[in-house]
């Protein structure tokens, strides 16, 4: 297979860097008989390298890296691009080692190495979680929840208005109102979960 984008292949890369450099676009999913089917285009450092597809039937993830090229005679053809595989090979193998849940007869556990398919499943999980998180963050100010004086891990409460935060920020009065509330909450020692998101919108508190 040919590597169409050799400049993207580093001398070495960590697993986390590899995953952070991949962006999914045109993500679609639907329910299937055995779970969820999905597909998406994937980009590495903003360069489209292919498409992933899971038919939701329990089979392997399809990593499609066909590149459209033009022959000298002007006809279109498709070739398999090896770029994403070459980048994956630069990850230190020790980072990909995982201990399975399967126990051997001697009481130890089997060791296996994550492959490219495994990392793409992690990337899809991150993408879906971030998408859902953005929906929640837009609704209002997200605070850590407390119950009887004790913090509940993963729980939150929301201070919201009739409009979403981005809609309120279209108006000076709306922005002032939200900033006033945020400063009040900070003074009270509240932990604001979507602090970074709110600051990225230009809110000062």
Note the pLDDT tens digit of each residue in 32-74. Answer: 877 889 999 999 999 999 999 999 888 899 999 988 887 788 8
Q: What is the CA radius of gyration of the chain?
A: 23
Overall average pLDDT of the 83-104 stretch: 92
pLDDT at 92 over 90: yes
User: At 145, is the secondary structure helix, strand, or coil?
Assistant: strand
If you average pLDDT over residues 88-103, what whole number do you get? 91
Please tell me the distance from the alpha carbon of residue 42 to that of residue 19, in angstroms, as a whole number.
Answer: 11
> By the 8 A CB rule, do 193 and 143 touch?
yes
Model confidence at 151, pLDDT cuts 50, 70, 90, reads: very low
Beta bridge partners of 159: 141
pLDDT tens by residue, 169-199: 999 999 999 999 999 999 999 999 999 999 9
For residue 145, give Cα distances in angstroms to 81, 153, 155: 48, 8, 5
For a pLDDT cut of 90, what percent of the chain falls above it?
68
Predicted structure pTM score: 0.75
The pLDDT of residue 65: 95
- Contact (CB, 8 A) for 195 and 158: no
Contact 5, 81 (CB under 8 A): yes
Strands, E, within 55-172: which ranges?
Answer: 62-64, 66-70, 76-80, 97-103, 109-113, 140-147, 150-160
**CB-based contact 63:121 (threshold 8 Å):** no
Residue 198 neighbours by CB under 8 Å, 6+ apart: 137, 141, 165, 178, 182, 192, 205
CA angle 69, 83, 48 (to 5 degrees): 65
Q: Which residues lie closer than 8 Å to 46 by C-beta, 6 or more apart?
A: 23
pLDDT in tens, 4-42: 999 999 999 999 999 999 999 999 999 887 788 999 999
């Amino acid at each position: 297979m040919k590597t169409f984008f050799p400049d993207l292949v580093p001398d070495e890369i960590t697993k986390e860097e590899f995953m952070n450099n991949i962006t999914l676009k045109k993500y679609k999913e639907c329910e299937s008989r055995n779970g969820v089917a999905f597909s998406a285009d994937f980009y590495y450092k903003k360069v489209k390298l292919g498409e992933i597809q899971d038919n939701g039937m329990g089979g392997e993830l399809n990593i499609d890296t066909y590149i459209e090229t033009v022959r000298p005679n002007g006809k279109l053809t498709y070739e398999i691009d090896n770029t994403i595989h070459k980048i994956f090979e630069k990850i230190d193998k020790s980072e990909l080692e995982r201990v399975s849940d399967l126990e051997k007869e001697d009481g130890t556990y089997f060791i296996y190495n994550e492959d490219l398919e495994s990392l793409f499943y992690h990337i899809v999980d991150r993408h879906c979680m971030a998408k859902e998180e953005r929906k929640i963050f837009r609704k209002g100010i997200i605070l850590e929840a407390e119950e009887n004086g004790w913090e509940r891990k993963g729980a939150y409460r929301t201070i919201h208005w009739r409009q979403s935060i981005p809609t309120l920020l279209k108006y000076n009065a709306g922005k002032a109102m939200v900033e006033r509330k945020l400063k009040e909450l900070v003074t009270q020692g509240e932990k604001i979960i979507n602090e970074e998101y709110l600051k990225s919108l230009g809110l000062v508190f």
